[in-house]
Every structure is written in C-alpha cells, then in structure tokens.
Chain A
Amino acid sequence: MSSKLTTSNRAGWAFAAPGIALIAVFIILPFFFAFALSLTNQRLISPNPTQFVGMQNYRDMLSVSVLRLAPDRDDAGQIQRDAAGAPVYPRIRDITRSPDFPQYRGMREWFRFHMGETAHVVIARDVVFMKALVNTLTFVLVVAPVQGGLALILALLVNQKLRGITLFRAIYFMPVVVSIVVVSLLWRFIYSPDGGLLNNLLSALTFGAFQPVNWLGNPDTALPAIMGMSIWQAVGFHMVIWLSGLQTISPTLYEAAEIEGASKWQTFRYVTWPGLRHTAVLVLIVITMQAFALFAQIDVMTRGGPLDSTQTLVFQAVERGYGKQDISGGATISVVLFLMVLAISLLQRWLTRERA
C-alpha cells in the first residue's frame, strides 16, 4: 500500500479536508453533544435547569434482575394449580410494588423460564428498551443476509445481455424510488386484516383454504411482515450496488472461463465472486447500518405494537426524545446503539479482513 510514489501529506489533506471538515461539524460535533446529553437529565421542553446525572440514564435503561419464584402452596403444602393444571406463581406485581422490595420498584417482567418447579423471572427496569434491542437484532440478523442474497440474485438476473433488460432493472428498482413512508402507507392497505389485498390474494391462490391473517395486528406476524416489506422495498437498492460491482469485472475473465469449459457455478465461484469482494463488504455494511436504523416503517405501520413486538431502538430513541420530550433518554439509546454497532462492525471488519 505505502509505495513511495503515493506518499503526499499535503495532497492527501487537501483532498480529504472538505469531506472531513463537513462530517466533523455536521455529524461528529452534534453526536458528541448527544453523548453529553445522555449524561444529564436534559428535557426537550423544560424551564428546569439541566443537571449532570452521570450514568443514571444508562442504569435506568439497562438494569435487569432475576427473581426465582416458588409456586404458591395451599395450607396443606400442596402446589396450587390453575384450571389447566399449571402451577400458580405469585404475581410479579405483588413483589415489584411491595414496600418490602424497594430495589425492584418500577421493574417489570421481561420474560420467564422454568427449571423444575421454580420459575425464573427476568425483570427489567426498561422492558420496552430490552424488547426493542432484541427486535432490532432479530431484524438485522434476518434482513442483512436475505436482502443481500436476493439482491445479488437479482443483479445476476438483470446483468444478462437481453433485449429490454434495462426496463427490468428499472422496474426492480422502482420500490426504492418511492419514499419508505409512502411505501409503508401503501402496505398498510395490503396487510389490512379486513379485506386486505394479501389475504385476498393468498385466499384466491389456495382456493379459499387460506385463513385470513391479521398481519400487523398479531405479535407473531407483525415483525416478519415488516421485514418482508422492508426487503421488498430496499432490495433494488442493493441490486444496483451489486450491479456496479459486476460491471467492473473484466469480460476477458469470463471469456477465459468459457474457453476452459467452466460450468456456470464454477464461473460464479471463481470469477464473479472474487471480483465482488469489495462490493460484498460494502453491501453487507450498508444493509446492516440501514437495518439498525429501522424507523419509518415502524412509525407508519405499527408504532412499536402489538405488544411491543415491533419496538426498535431508533423508534424508541425518537419516541422518547421527541414524543416524550426526554431528549437525554433518547440520546442514551443512540449512544448504546452506536457502541453496539461499532463493536459489530469492528468484528465484521476483523472477520472479512484481507488475509495476506
């Protein structure tokens, strides 16, 4: 990399300075400001003076405890059971709101699991944040590979030399062109439980065997429904990036592969894929970043519901910072998100590092 020919501090600075300066002023400076906010109790709207609170916002968001509960027993020492025969446990409400346990005050059940008769209840001070964290990670883990893979397949399809292929490229790209807010609005009609297009279509395709699903109203289907729509909307975007990578691969390499009688798969494996290495890193990182920033779809379609099944970190950051005027709480989420994604991208860079 560092050949003598390319060493030039003055030129390097001159070329990079405008970009670095703009990013420093308009992104990095405000971000440090946001970080400082997360250490205070600053409100969006308030006549009260701002106070430094240290890590309090982080503690309020991240504290988690586990309660071990034994089943209720009657006077004879027998485990009480409900109508279905399951053991009855004390209500969490009676513990978290009891003056005997001030340390659990304000905490709520996140989830529970059973080991033998004992129920282990994980309670968190900020259950909504925890759910948002899990949903966001789930979204990233599903959407990044699926969207990246589908985009590559599409790119290969529209990289064929066929008459009218430009038209197909344009069509596949079309959903990207429409704003995500608009797309989310349109899909609310499509996912509607009462005579929505998707239900009617599936019903017609299966000759009525399909039972209508309340896509956005059911906690089990809401996040997958949003994933599906998000992939549909953005896949054309990544197709274009793959396509620009594909088009830099020299045709002479393909000709050579053909002469040597390589199969289609071999051509892809040994010519196309190695030529896409830089593009692959780009696509993966871009998709991951966009997935972590999931917001508009949630805001328009579900606002985090039903039952927090579609809460996400950025939605919560906005909801708190603007809606609930808790600008320091919103900033705290942004900082946590930043640190998390930074860790992931360092890991990603380490995993995809260029091996000498």
Chain B
Amino acid sequence: MASISPDNHGLRLAVRYAVLILIALIFVFPLVFMVMSSLKPAQQLLADTASLRAFLPVGDISLDNYARAFQRAPIGLFVFNSVLVTGLTVLLCLAVCSMAGFAFVYLNWRGRDLFLSIILATLIVPFETIAIPLLLLVSKLPWIGWEGVSYGWLNSYRVQIIPWIADALTIFLFVQYFKGLPRELIEAARVEGATWFQIYWRVVMPLSGPVLATAAILKFLVMYNQYLWPLIVVQQEKYRPVMVGLQYFFQLNIAWGEVMAYLTMITLPVLAFYLALQRAFIASIASTGVKG
C-alpha cells in the first residue's frame, strides 16, 4: 500500500482501527443479542429487547436455557448429523467441482462450451421449485448396499448428501478462479510429459488454496442450513439435521431463551469451521507463489 510517513503514522493507524471497529459493531450486534439473550430468562429477555440491555449480560444470568434446550431435543445428535452430512458433501463437492472446473478451463473437448452454458443456466433454478420432482425421483432410486439392491433413498444420510455434491455455483467459482491462473504453468507441465491428472493434482490444486477455502465455506453454509430437503426426505429423528431441529423449539408459546441457546450452539460449529479455514486459507496464499 501507499507509504506512510512516520509522523502521522500513529494517527492514521488509529483512524483505520476506528473505522474497522465501527463497522464491526454493525455486523456483530444481532449476534451479541443472540448470545446474551440465551443467558436470560424469557420475561427479562423480552423486556430487554427495547434497550441496550439486550446486548449486556445483566440481570438474572444463567445457563438454564442451555440445560433445558438439551432436555427438549437431542441436540448432540442433530449437530452430529449436520456435521457429518455437511462435511462429506463439502469434500465430495470440492473434488467433483474442481475437476469439472479444470476440464472447462484447461481442456479442450467436444461439447465443452455447450455443457458449461447448460450448467451455468442451472444456477438460476431455485431449489424450492424442483424439490417435489426430486423427492419423487429419490424415492425410487436404487441403492446397492451390503444386503443387495434396494429401492428408495428416503431416511438415510445418502439422500441428504448425493444430490448436493455437484452444483453450478461451485463449478463456476473454480472456473473463474482457474481462468485467472497463469496458463503457462499448465502448458509447461504438459511439455514435460505430465498426465492431466498429475497437472490437476500437482500443479493446479496446490495453487487453489483461496478458491478451495471459499468454495468450502460457501458449500458448508448451504449444507449446514438445509431445511426443506431433509424435512421432506427424512422421517426419522436419527437422521435429522440442526435446522429441522430448530422446529422443536417453536411450540405455541415460544421459549425464546431456549431458542437463543439452541441458535448459539448450532452457530458455533460454523464459526469454528470458518476460523479454521481462514487460517488455512491465508497460509496457502503465503506458500503457493501464485504471486509471481
């Protein structure tokens, strides 16, 4: 960035931080509200919403809401299901979509442009509008397991994972990123006799830290927040994910304190995932040498 003269360095730094902190306040306040509310009894929580007390751990503070939330719903099971489904889908998605992106950018094959256009067009299809046809489809699909061939994918983990592995947005992310990478690297590797898979795995993937991290975060969010799909394909509690679990808390008289406690708990894994990836993400940039 531009050079900074030493005399006003301190002042400019202070201004920068002030701006950053001000913006941070705008983004963080509903979450502080959520966490603080989870510590309060329902009556106080609602009374506090009108003032700044909503953001402060004041009044009758306790972890009672958390204890009661655990009694109301098998939270551990829901989080386990969500993390399992989300984790597997993200991994498979990164593999499948990065390979497709690689094919669309670096390889020249018949039908490439046509297929890319078709895939990008599917970006526009809102999931809600194909949910019912998709439900009818997966309820008939065959599956080969330990006990032979069975039909119907309902009530399983696979029905929550497989239809979500490939999506146009992730492929598009990889395509746009790969277009920005220097082509000479690939051509050089090709001249040296590397196979396409070696180029994909040894040359392109190591340069793809930022896009892998971005795609992983976005996919993680989509999968972790699944509601409509698991709702219609899963009828057994043992496969239910966290967002369907949220419905356990919306009884006729909503216990807002427990709702906030549940929300706080289910938000933590996502935040942890993001923070972990951000670290990896920055490390990958430092080490790759895309910069040159």
Contact = CB atoms under 8 A, between A and B. Distances in A.
Q: Tell me if chains A and B make direct contact, with any CB pair below 8 A.
A: yes
A9 B109 contact: yes
A285 to B, nearest CB: 7
A232 B26 contact: yes
A31 B122 contact: yes
A100 B123 CA distance: 47
B248 interface: no
A334 B125 contact: yes
Given A2-B108, A175-B30, A236-B27, A170 B274 contact: yes
Contact of B126 (A10, A200, A295): A295
B78 interface: no
B124 A345 contact: yes
Given A170-B278, A237-B218, A334 B17 contact: no
Given A162-B17, A170-B278, A281-B176, A321 B132 contact: yes
Contact of A186 (B34, B106, B165): B34
B88 to A, nearest CB: 14
Nearest to A254: B1
A355 to B, nearest CB: 16
Contact of B109 (A8, A185, A186, A236): A8
Main secondary structure of the interface of B (DSSP, over half): helix
Given A16-B115, A247-B285, A341-B124, A321 B129 contact: yes
Given A12-B107, A16-B115, A285-B123, A177 B291 contact: no
A28 B27 CA distance: 37
Given A1-B108, A22-B166, A327 B180 contact: no
B107 to A, nearest CB: 4
A258 B2 contact: yes
Interface in B195-216: 196, 200, 210-211, 213-214
Interface stretch (A54-62, A66-74, A153-161): A153-161
B90 interface: no
A248 B31 contact: no
Contact of A177 (B126, B164, B271): B271
Contact of A175 (B31, B49, B213, B225): B31
A248 B178 CA distance: 11
Size class of the B contact interface (CB-based, 8 Å): 35 or more
A204 to B, nearest CB: 9
B2 to A, nearest CB: 6
A84 B249 CA distance: 52
A282 B173 contact: yes
B148 to A, nearest CB: 22
Contacts of A254: 1
Interface centre among A3, A30, A190, A314 (most CB of B within 10 A): A30
Interface string B274-292: 1100110110010000111
Among B30, B106, B186, B263, residue most surrounded by chain A Cβ atoms (within 10 Å): B30
B170 to A, nearest CB: 9
A201 to B, nearest CB: 9
Interface string A1-41: 11101111111111110111011011111110110010000
A18 B99 contact: yes
Nearest to A161: B1
B263 A182 contact: yes
Contacts of B102: 15
A337 B126 contact: yes
Contact of A285 (B125, B126, B172, B292): B172
B30 A186 contact: yes
A327 B99 contact: no
Interface string A220-252: 000000000000100011001100110110111
Contacts of B130: 27, 30-31, 33-34, 334
B28 A174 contact: yes
A317 interface: yes
Contacts of B83: none
A315 B177 CA distance: 33
A230 to B, nearest CB: 13
Interface in B1-20: 1-3, 13, 16-17, 19-20
Given A172-B27, A175-B27, A330 B129 contact: yes
28 contacts: A3-B187, A7-B109, A12-B103, A14-B103, A18-B166, A22-B96, A22-B163, A26-B137, A28-B122, A30-B130, A162-B13, A168-B23, A168-B24, A171-B28, A174-B27, A176-B221, A178-B30, A181-B243, A181-B246, A182-B267, A195-B49, A252-B291, A264-B2, A267-B2, A282-B172, A317-B129, A338-B125, A345-B121
Interface of A: 1-3, 5-16, 18-20, 22-23, 25-31, 33-34, 37, 44, 154, 157-158, 160-162, 165-166, 168-183, 185-187, 189-190, 192, 195-197, 200, 232, 236-237, 240-241, 244-245, 247-248, 250-252, 254, 258, 263-264, 267, 278-279, 281-282, 285-286, 289, 292-293, 295, 314, 317-318, 321, 327, 330-331, 333-334, 337-338, 341-342, 345
**Which are the 5 A-B pairs with shortest beta-carbon distances?**
A12-B109, A19-B100, A334-B129, A15-B103, A22-B166
Given A321-B129, A345-B120, 20 more contacts: A9-B109, A11-B107, A16-B104, A16-B109, A22-B163, A27-B125, A29-B137, A31-B125, A31-B129, A33-B136, A165-B20, A170-B274, A172-B27, A174-B27, A178-B270, A186-B34, A232-B27, A254-B1, A258-B2, A345-B123
